[in-house]
Amino acid sequence: MTKQTSSAPTGAQKVVVGLMALIENGDLSPGDPIPKTADLAEHFGVNKNTASRAVQLLKERGVLSGKAGGTTRVRVPPMYQVRSTTRYQIEKDRVLLPEEERRTAGVAELDSKIPVSAMYENHVKLDVLPAPADVAEVLGLEPGALVLRRIGTRRHREGAGESRSVSYMPHDLAVQNPALFDPDREPWPGGSLHQLYTLGVEVERIEDTITAYMPSAEEMERQDIPLGVPIMHVRKISYSTSGDAVEVTDIPFPADRIKLHYVTPLRPW
């Protein structure tokens, strides 16, 4: 960097304006590391504490990312999603399509407008474990009963924060189709509604409950969440035509990249 000599705002704002100019001009691209605090201080003619404060301000604005003591980079823009309740009927309608058609696209594309095939990372981890107490209660299971857990993680670009979902299905139900335990079959064509279909289960309704909380340090790092941004947590419960809960899915959405859109049809009088 060449030392800045032109007039500019003073203090931390001076560094903020200068770094923003470097980013907007393309001198620093998403994923690029920014200069060290000492170099920033020298370049902009401020002390290290002022330069550090400027970096923190840009982290809070979602322009930079990186944990304290580590490498700070220009933040890769997160994947914005719009999640609507109409997605569930679309997903159910696709259950009866041939596998070739189910493989072409899924409801995930409806939310992000990004094909799954274009994702930088798309991974599903399968394991069997005792159901967490709250999940067992929803699924009507005895304490210690086993569930099939699916943890899905995606990144749309290198360096981006991950998106994540965790689903639970009763093991006694899932074991009726051994293919559900095969990671080589992931991502499953047709999603969870088709998985349940292979078990002879038709989903009659899906309930979403949304709560908010502040993320942990681990969640902030894993999902690249700016300081002060809450998580909108969706708990999705699928019910069969017999009224039984057959799957529980937890999906944490950082509030800076999600729009929840709910459509409620009303029967005419």
pLDDT in tens, 14-66: 999 999 999 999 999 999 999 999 999 999 999 999 999 999 999 999 999 99
Phi, psi of 100 (to 5 degrees): -60, -40
Both tokens assigned to 48: 């290290």
Give me the pLDDT at residue 76, please.
Answer: 96
Quick check: pTM over 0.75? Answer: yes
Give me the pLDDT at residue 58, please.
Answer: 95
Is the Cβ–Cβ distance between 234 and 253 less than 8 Å? Answer: yes
Both tokens assigned to 17: 């304006």
Question: Cis ω on the peptide bond leading into residue 187 (within 30° of 0)?
Answer: yes
- Compute the distance between CA of residue 220 and CA of residue 229 in angstroms, rounded to an integer: 9
Q: By three-state DSSP, how is residue 223 classified?
A: helix
Domains and CATH numbers, the chain: 11-74 (1.10.10.10), 81-261 (3.40.1410.10)
Fill in the amino acid letter for 133. A
- Helix runs in 155-251, H state only: 171-174, 191-198, 217-223
Name the maximum alpha-carbon separation found in the chain.
Answer: 73
Name residue 205's beta-bridge partners.
Answer: 239
Name residue 237's beta-bridge partners.
Answer: 207, 248
Which parts of the chain register pLDDT below 50? 2-8
